[in-house]
């Protein structure tokens, strides 16, 4: 009995650079294998090569590449087309980008059926309904006629999965299938993928998140720099990792960690050991407060949609307030109201006791310095023409540093504060890695000498190990500078780790708020419980964790 998929010595090179370097693995029928690694580890290229889509300029070499006992090494593009969609289904990360925006999803799903089967038009339509139903899409007839942009992220991903499984493939490849989804939706999609796998088909899932695959995979292969550094059953790899890289990856997952401990295992001598977590001064006056905020935006049909309703919060110096919620919950709008970038319909925002709306435009402008923001995507928050020097220099100008040696010295000082050095001064944002860009963004926020930094999903676009370093950096800086953070994230693990107090938001309202330990240990609202249950845990196969986040 041959394996469903057999890969030996797979090497893919682009212009002489080996992106995948001697990867070997097998996948049996009825099995789920997970390829795990950070960006640039070669996991996606490996998967794409398996369906003959390595990309332009790719030099592919394999000692053995067999699918269902057939040698596919000599396949031409024409031969591949008969296999793709029919015997191998492919689910990509971004359903919105993968689905044709100009076609109803039903037609998209029917396409592989038209290509690979002899079903009539009516039979195809019936099969599309059946497929949509099987992936848990409510009202399949209605949804099939809708366009991708009219569907929610979860429904889009389901539609994409439906088109991938339309022809009952033997092998399903899923490349980061849940990365773009909210936590509760991600869990549903993962369970769906798990249920699709039966005794005669196999599932290969690619993810950067060990916790996500732990839920699904039978075996895990950890990739780094184009090689598989560790492979084994999911339990063995997660419970008893052998390779230091696997250990570092596991250590970097915030939900597996105690609050107040460092996540990153990387040595960074420039930053001193963190001070013990300071208790936020309970009696201090709030540096930022909001009372009864309300904001609505006109929808496409002209009817106002309420984005934020009756939100109140306070933030004191040296404290971190987490806001957690899924997309559309109003957390970003709340942040924009606090920053004075939007004007609330009702309620007031008090910065050090002064209401935004009580200020003249000129006073408001000079006030802005006191509240800074770190965005999810740092690259787009820098002027593309600016070097790091100018990016930070501009913020220093606002804080009253005139152009000259003092400003230059302070820029270098700030770079060192975020564990970069003067060597980065002349770089442009495009020449930095994701983590370095976020460090520069933090340095710019600090340059303005603010009392509050709003972190809007600051680590969501980063790899786990880089995410760990940024979270550690933010904690260090707070301990040293007593700056207050408003920490917005959809990731409960991250929010739990970073925050002192937390607000849970849904549909523009605050459902629950309080000390982060209390809320996570004893959630009062059903939705909070649902969110907590959706946190991907590393120890799914082990005994239930003794504490809410699986740590003591």
Per CB under 8 A, residues contacting other proteins are 54-64, 71, 73-74, 339, 341, 365-369, 371-373, 375, 377, 380-385, 394-395, 398, 444, 448
| Nearest CB to other proteins, comparing residues 78 and 269 | 78
* Alpha-carbon dihedral angle through residues 202, 38, 61, 221, given to the nearest 10 degrees: -40
Closest approach of Cβ 396 to other proteins, in Å?
Answer: 10
| Nearest CB to other proteins, comparing residues 263 and 349 | 349
| Nearest CB to other proteins, comparing residues 382 and 424 | 382
Residue 336 burial (CB count, 10 A): 18
Give the residues across from 308 on adjacent strands: 295
Nearest to 481 by CA among 511, 449, 512, 438: 449
Closest approach of Cβ 384 to other proteins, in Å?
Answer: 7
Closest approach of Cβ 439 to other proteins, in Å?
Answer: 15
| Nearest CB to other proteins, comparing residues 6 and 230 | 6
Q: Where are the beta strands (DSSP E) in 200-239?
A: 202-207, 219-224, 227-233
Closest approach of Cβ 73 to other proteins, in Å?
Answer: 4
Q: Which two tokens stand for residue 337?
A: 């109201």
Closest approach of Cβ 338 to other proteins, in Å?
Answer: 11
Cβ contacts of residue 401 below 8 Å, gap of 6+?
407, 410
Cα angle 23, 26, 27 (rounded to 5 degrees) comes to 130
Closest approach of Cβ 407 to other proteins, in Å?
Answer: 14
Nearest to 86 by CA among 69, 54, 111, 65: 111
| Nearest CB to other proteins, comparing residues 377 and 530 | 377
| Nearest CB to other proteins, comparing residues 60 and 422 | 60
| Nearest CB to other proteins, comparing residues 62 and 535 | 62
| Nearest CB to other proteins, comparing residues 194 and 397 | 397
Closest approach of Cβ 448 to other proteins, in Å?
Answer: 6
Q: DSSP per residue over 117-146, as a string?
A: ----HHHHHHHHHHHHHHTT-SSHHHHHTS
- How far apart CA 59 and CA 72 sit, in angstroms, is 15
- Residue 128 and residue 109 in contact, taking contact as beta carbons nearer than 8 Å: yes
| Nearest CB to other proteins, comparing residues 200 and 403 | 403
Residue 111 burial (CB count, 10 A): 16
| Nearest CB to other proteins, comparing residues 168 and 394 | 394
| Nearest CB to other proteins, comparing residues 234 and 372 | 372
Closest approach of Cβ 292 to other proteins, in Å?
Answer: 24
Tell me which residue has tokens 């099987």.
134
Q: Which two tokens stand for residue 342?
A: 């939007």
**449 φ, ψ to 5°?**
50, 60
Closest approach of Cβ 322 to other proteins, in Å?
Answer: 21
Closest approach of Cβ 291 to other proteins, in Å?
Answer: 22
> From edge to edge, which strands make up the β-sheet containing 227-233?
88-91, 171-175, 202-207, 32-36, 219-224, 227-233
- How far apart CA 493 and CA 514 sit, in angstroms, is 16
Q: Which two tokens stand for residue 504?
A: 């849970």
| Nearest CB to other proteins, comparing residues 54 and 99 | 54
Q: Where are the beta strands (DSSP E) in 260-375?
A: 288-298, 304-315, 320-324, 346-351, 354-355, 371-374
Cα–Cα distances in angstroms (integers) from residue 335 to residues 331, 372, 382, 493, in the given order: 6, 11, 19, 20
SS (HEC) of 63-88 = CEEEECCEECCCCCHHHHHHHECCCE
**284 φ, ψ to 5°?**
-60, 150
| Nearest CB to other proteins, comparing residues 25 and 520 | 25
Closest approach of Cβ 405 to other proteins, in Å?
Answer: 22
Q: Which two tokens stand for residue 236?
A: 């063995």
Closest approach of Cβ 379 to other proteins, in Å?
Answer: 9
Q: Which two tokens stand for residue 537?
A: 């845990």
Tell me which residue has tokens 């993810």.
207
Closest approach of Cβ 457 to other proteins, in Å?
Answer: 12
- How far apart CA 107 and CA 114 sit, in angstroms, is 10
């Amino acid at each position: 009995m041959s394996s469903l998929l057999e890969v030996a010595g797979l090497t893919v090179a682009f212009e002489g650079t080996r992106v995948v370097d001697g990867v070997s693995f097998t996948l049996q029928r009825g099995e789920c294998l997970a390829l795990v690694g950070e960006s640039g580890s070669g996991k996606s290229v490996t998967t794409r090569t398996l369906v003959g889509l390595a990309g332009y300029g790719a030099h592919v070499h394999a000692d053995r590449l067999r699918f269902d006992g057939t040698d596919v090494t000599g396949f031409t593009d024409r031969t591949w087309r008969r296999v793709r969609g029919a015997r191998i289904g492919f689910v990509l990360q971004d359903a919105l980008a993968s689905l044709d925006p100009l076609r109803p999803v039903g037609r998209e799903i029917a396409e592989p059926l038209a290509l690979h089967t002899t079903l009539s038009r009516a039979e195809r339509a019936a099969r599309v309904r059946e497929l949509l139903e099987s992936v848990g899409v409510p009202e399949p007839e209605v949804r099939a006629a809708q366009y991708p942009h009219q569907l929610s992220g979860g429904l889009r991903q389901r539609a994409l999965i439906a088109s991938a499984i339309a022809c009952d493939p033997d092998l399903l490849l899923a490349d980061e299938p849940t990365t773009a989804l909210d936590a509760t939706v991600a869990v549903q999609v993962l369970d769906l993928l798990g249920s699709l796998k039966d005794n005669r088909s196999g599932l290969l899932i690619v993810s950067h998140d060990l916790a996500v695959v732990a839920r699904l995979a039978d075996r895990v292969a950890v990739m780094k720099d184009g090689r598989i550094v560790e492979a084994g059953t999911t339990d063995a790899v997660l419970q008893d990792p052998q390779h230091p890289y696997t250990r570092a990856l596991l250590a970097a997952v915030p939900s597996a960690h105690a609050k107040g401990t460092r996540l990153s295992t990387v040595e960074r001598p420039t930053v001193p050991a963190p001070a013990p977590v300071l208790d936020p001064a309970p009696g201090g006056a709030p540096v930022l407060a909001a009372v009864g905020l309300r904001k609505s935006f006109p929808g496409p049909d002209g009817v106002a949609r309420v984005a934020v309703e009756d939100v109140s919060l306070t933030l004191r110096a040296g404290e971190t307030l987490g806001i957690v919620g899924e997309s559309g919950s109003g957390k970003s709008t709340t942040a924009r109201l606090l920053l004075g970038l939007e004007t609330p319909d009702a309620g007031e925002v008090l910065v050090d006791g002064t209401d935004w709306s009580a200020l003249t435009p000129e006073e408001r402008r000079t006030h802005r310095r006191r509240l800074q923001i770190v965005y999810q995507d740092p690259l787009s928050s820098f002027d593309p023409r600016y070097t790091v020097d100018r990016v930070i220099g501009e913020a220093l100008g606002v804080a009253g540093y005139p152009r000259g040696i003092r400003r230059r010295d302070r820029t270098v000082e700030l770079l060192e504060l975020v564990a970069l050095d003067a060597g980065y001064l002349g770089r442009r944002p495009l020449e930095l890695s994701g983590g370095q860009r976020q460090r520069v963004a933090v340095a710019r926020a600090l340059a303005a000498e603010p009392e509050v930094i709003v972190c809007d999903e600051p680590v969501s676009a980063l790899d786990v190990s880089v995410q760990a370093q940024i979270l550690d950096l933010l904690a260090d800086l707070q301990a040293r500078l007593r700056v207050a953070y408003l920490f917005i994230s959809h990731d409960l693990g991250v929010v739990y780790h970073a925050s002192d107090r937390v607000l849970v938001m849904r549909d523009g309202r605050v459902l629950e708020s309080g000390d982060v330990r209390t809320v996570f240990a004893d959630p009062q609202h059903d939705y909070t419980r649902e969110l907590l249950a959706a946190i991907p845990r590393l120890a799914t196969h082990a005994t239930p964790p003794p504490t809410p986040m699986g740590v003591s």
